[in-house]
Structure 1
């Protein structure tokens, strides 16, 4: 395993958790992404730019996560597959803790996301990620707000 990969995602999870508070740590989250990146879900493929519009998307995404009771994200494990000297594929296993919005009842959901990282001299950056149907998962556990479409609430979904 490239020695920086686990710590890279530990930093990402820490920024995610800070962003569930009063203010999104957009600077820290954006530092994990390349200038341009690809996000894919079951029904869409999005191209993202690591610019001001990404910050706005992060603000909207974390407002949504807070609204469904997201309390914290945990990094359970990482599985790294080398592609070449400059790229790795990383399957990241997460656990997310929620408090159901209506009852406050705790809930934990485990899931994974696959990332393609480019290994730069300054450190790795996300150039692509592939995620499952986040909204279907929330619906399964009774967290999905009525009328919310399937897919991901934002192209920077780190969950």
Structure 2
């Protein structure tokens, strides 16, 4: 997987995220970015999930929650790739999230997420991710 292919993948991911913040969520498109099964790790622990109707419902609820707390945008600042083999890599994605609160209409927060990627039939997909403590960060910035 090339850096360019992974960068294009996450640009597409960010586009779907932005659409979802505008209330135009397409759970089929977003879920197509994920493998049939996946893992996630954060300071809260490790979880495994399936890319099914429940996942799509969870995505829709998550985007609704992002809108409720004042999320205005999510952009990719940069992507670097650590290859594992011909079909797998870790994509280190630097994001900037923007929020609006009653006290501050323009809060920008930079963070990184590390995605486990697999390419099958020429199509990259996320099969896992490792993220920091989002809730703690949102509290520190006064978002929640």
TM-score in terms of structure 1 length:
0.86
- Name 2:124's counterpart in structure 1: 124
Supply the distance in 1 between the matched residues of 2:23 and 2:43 (Cα, whole angstroms): 31
- Name 1:48's counterpart in structure 2: 49
Supply the distance in 2 between the matched residues of 1:122 and 1:51 (Cα, whole angstroms): 22
Task: Report Cα offsets for 1:82-126 as digits up to 9, x if no partner.
Answer: 0011100010000111111x2352110000000010011231000
- Post-superposition, which runs of at least 4 consecutive aligned residues in structure 1 deviate over 4 A? none
Please provide the CA RMSD for this pair: 1.2
- Name 2:142's counterpart in structure 1: 142
Supply the distance in 2 between the matched residues of 1:99 and 1:117 (Cα, whole angstroms): 32
The SS at the match of 1:88 is strand
Supply the distance in 1 between the matched residues of 2:61 and 2:22 (Cα, whole angstroms): 13
The SS at the match of 1:85 is coil
Supply the distance in 1 between the matched residues of 2:15 and 2:105 (Cα, whole angstroms): 24
The SS at the match of 2:49 is strand
- Name 1:105's counterpart in structure 2: 105
Supply the distance in 2 between the matched residues of 1:124 and 1:136 (Cα, whole angstroms): 31
1:25 Cα deviation after fit: 1.8
Q: Which has more helix, going by share of residues?
A: 2
Flag structure 2 segments of 5+ consecutive residues without an equivalent.
Answer: none
Supply the distance in 2 between the matched residues of 1:105 and 1:17 (Cα, whole angstroms): 17
1:27 Cα deviation after fit: 1.3
- Count of residue pairs the alignment pairs up: 143
Supply the distance in 1 between the matched residues of 2:56 and 2:75 (Cα, whole angstroms): 23
